[in-house]
Amino acid sequence: MKRVFSGVQPTGNIHLGNYLGALRQFVELQEEYQCLYCIVDLHAITVPQDPKELRKHILDVAALYLAVGVDPKKSIVFVQSDVPGHSELGWILTCSSYTGELSRMTQFKAKSQNKASAPAGLFTYPVLMAADILLYDTDVVPVGTDQKQHIELCRDLAIRVNNTRKKTFVVPEGRYLKAGARIMSLDDPSKKMSKSAENIHSRISLLDEPSKIKKSIMKATTDSEGIIRFDKDEKPGLSNLINIYSALSDKTIDEIIAMYEGKGYGDFKKDLVEITVDALTPIKEKFDEIRSSQELIDILEDGAEKANEIAEKTMARVKDNFGLGLK
Ligand code: AMP
Ligand code: TRP
């Protein structure tokens, strides 16, 4: 069976972009692949984290995985730092990476902009991500398109090691959806929807109340033309909303445009509120049920054990191919 790996950082505010770009794919893939879904806490500490909050967010993301439909009977759900292989392989791959290629990562450039010095963890973050993926001989990585450059680096590292040592790694492929691959900010459609933006109305979090969802959508930036049509350059705000509508309703963009011919933004937004609330309500209900249960902890412990079994085999092969250790 081919293998899937993906991860989400435990930093609160998991939003519609995370859901439509990544989490939705996780559920779909479970039927055909052996899937590993990780809560990447080691990635979260590339920026300062309050220990209590971090623990809480780890369990929040785990519960959200299950609430959107990840099934622990089919998939392995676990916390990154519970499997030592991630850090270990991260270091080994760091030694196969170059500062030049890491300096070109747009996410690093954006996060270190205007700073004389940046945390080294932010710089090597994509190498740890490559380790996450390569540790499990992953074939497919479902992510939003913002991660494309990191996936390419992971592939480059795998190929580089394979070419200079015995074949060590499976070279993975990224998997990106058409609708939902990049959801933009509701208040500024030139930026991607993000967990860390200050304005809470820039995003819809998966656990938002209906009244908050309504407010955020009704306030969303559009334009003054008043015609519902899809045009990312001229009408980025409305096009983003149409994209969200399409992803949540399984209607094509053309179908949506035909439905709203002669209608105004108000009607369109009102319907989008309803569709969004209907999609998120069952997720929130399931989340509330699961979040405080012992079952959640049991699932994560069991997941770590299973992930470790696979990781240990890969690490033995990697160490052997690099000549590390005694056996
Ligand atoms: P992160 O929040 O950075 O841990 O991202 C978790 C997953 O959500 C990754 O697969 C990202 O590519 C995806 N993602 C994050 N933001 C967006 C967005 N605005 N649109 C689509 N996918 C996103
Ligand atoms: N870097 C990813 C993000 O910010 C999260 C991540 C870490 C990840 N390791 C991964 C995604 C491995 C896919 C596979 O979204």
Q: Answer yes or no: 214 catalytic.
A: no
Q: What is the pLDDT of residue 327?
A: 72
Catalytic, out of 73, 178, 191, 192 = 192
Share of the chain above pLDDT 90, in %: 93
Mean pLDDT (the chain, rounded)? 96
Indicate if ligand 2 lies below 6 Å from the C-beta of 80: no
Residue nearest to ligand 1 atom 18, measured at CA: 17
Q: How confident is the model over 226-253, as pLDDT tens digits?
A: 999 999 999 999 999 999 999 999 899 9
Residue nearest to ligand 2 atom 6, measured at CA: 7
Q: How far apart are CA 34 and CA 41, in angstroms?
A: 22
CB 77 within 8 A of CB 65: yes
Q: What is the pLDDT of residue 13?
A: 82
CB 4 within 8 A of CB 76: no
Q: How far apart are CA 297 and CA 169, in angstroms?
A: 31
Residue 64, pLDDT above cutoff 70: yes
Residue nearest to ligand 2 atom 14, measured at CA: 6
Catalytic, out of 148, 195, 313, 319 = 195
Q: What is the pLDDT of residue 12?
A: 82
Q: Which residue has the tokens 């890969």?
A: 314
Q: How confident is the model over 271-284, as pLDDT tens digits?
A: 999 999 999 999 99
Q: Answer yes or no: 191 catalytic.
A: no
Q: What is the pLDDT of residue 250?
A: 82
Residue 53, pLDDT above cutoff 80: yes
Q: What is the pLDDT of residue 249?
A: 94
Q: How confident is the model at residue 218 (pLDDT cuts 50, 70, 90)?
A: very high
Cα 40 to averaged position of ligand 2 atoms, centre (Å): 7
pTM of the model: 0.94
Q: How far apart are CA 134 and CA 69, in angstroms?
A: 25
Q: What is the pLDDT of residue 180?
A: 65
Indicate if ligand 2 lies below 6 Å from the C-beta of 40: yes
Residue 78 β-bridge partners: 38
Q: How confident is the model over 137-180, as pLDDT tens digits?
A: 999 999 989 999 999 999 999 999 999 999 999 999 999 987 66
Q: State the closest ligand 2 atom to the C-alpha of 129, by its place in the atom list counted from 1.
A: 9
Residue nearest to ligand 1 atom 11, measured at CA: 144
Q: How far apart are CA 174 and CA 146, in angstroms?
A: 11
